[in-house]
Structure formats: C-alpha cells, structure tokens
Amino acid sequence: MENLIQQVKAIYDQFDASHDFQHIERVLQNAESILEAEPDADKEIVRIAVLLHDVSDKKYTDSKEAEERLLNSINLSDEKKQHIREVIASVSFNGGNELPAKTLEAKIVRDADRLDAIGAVGIARTFAYGGAKGRKLYDDEEVARMSMTEEEYRSKNTSSVTHFYEKLLLLKDKMTTEKGKQMAEGRHAFMVTFLEQLQNEKEGKA
C-alpha cells in the first residue's frame, strides 16, 4: 500500500486543488468511517479503489493508462482487479448518468467520494475547480439543467454556483449506505446555508 500511495500521489500532485492527494486522503477517511458500519465489505478493495479512483479521471485525461498500469503493479487476483475496475467505474456522477453501484464496496467508495463533494470541503473544491477552469463564480442568467447527457455535462463551462444545483445539492439523496446518508445530512445543510448567505450578500442584504 505504501508503494501504491507514493505512485498515486505523484499523479494527483499534478492535478488542481480540487482533485489533489488531499482529496484522496479525505475520501479514504470517509471510507474508513463507512467501513466501521459495514463489516462485511472487502476493506482491501475499498482502499485500493479509493486510491485509484481519480488517476484516470475524464476531467484530466482521456486514457485509462494510469489506472491499468497501477492495477497491474499490484499483487492481486484478476477477479479482485476487475472488481476494483467496476467500483471505480461506478463512482463518477457523469451528469446524473452514473453506472449502478452493484456491490457493497462500490457503494462505500461512491458515498465516500461524494461526501467530499459536499459540505465545507465541497464548497472549497467547487470554487477551486472553477477557478482552475476559468469559470464564473455565479451567473444569474444561467438555468441549471436537471437532465443532460454525460457529454453535455462535461462540455458546458457553467458557473460554480450553477454546479451546486446541477450536482452537489442532489448528492444527499443519492447516498447508498446508511452511514453515508447520516454523514451527508449536515454537509448538505451547510451548503444550503452557504447559498442563502451568498444570495443575501449579492443582493446587499447581509
């Protein structure tokens, strides 16, 4: 694991602050919290999937090369490697077109990752990514899309605040584990409060 951590860290250190190695550390922490409530899960698969889940993220690369190279460097059975691939594939939101999380391990990793997309950290990550991509903070003329293809989701350079309505505020109700649902409640509420305060400041009411 230590060798794998050093390899993935070298990759994530090339990404912007929204998807750096600190993101992986937080998702690992979330996953460990959920694992405490899910003793039947394969901890090894969960931990490796968390480490690898963004190395071939479509926001940064069109290739699965890094994911495959790292998977093949691990002394695991072909069955476990395929399980990890399937877990990783089910993590991404894809504009609401995500693949089903069919296994307990997939549900844990998905929830752990999505918990890092909401709450105070989620707010910080949203604006970090928006800044890296040159997005507006907000656009009052922009209408959030409630239905879109994966290509539409990835191709339109929407404002950071619009992203809350197109994804982040939807995640609480998409949690798949009981622990994930519990952890999401407070983080979701914090985002709602933030958006209300932001609107008040925009209107000069605060």
CA-CA distances (angstroms) from residue 77 to 40, 45, 73, 82, 102? 19, 11, 12, 9, 20
- 41 φ, ψ (degrees, to nearest 5): -75, 150
Model confidence, pTM = 0.95
Where do the domains of the chain lie, and which CATH numbers do they carry? 2-202 (1.10.3210.50)
Rounded-to-integer distance, Cα 194 and Cα 183, Å: 18
pLDDT in tens, 149-200: 988 888 888 999 999 999 999 999 999 999 999 999 999 999 999 999 999 9
User: What was the pLDDT predicted at 49?
Assistant: 98
Residue 99, both tokens: 């693949």
pLDDT in tens, 12-49: 999 999 999 999 999 999 999 999 999 999 999 999 99
Residue 112 has pLDDT above 90, yes or no: yes
Residue 30, both tokens: 């979330």
With the C-alpha atoms ordered 88, 93, 99, 104, is the resulting torsion angle positive or negative? Answer: positive
Q: Which of 146, 135, 115 is nearest to 29 (CA)?
A: 115
User: What was the pLDDT predicted at 96?
Assistant: 87
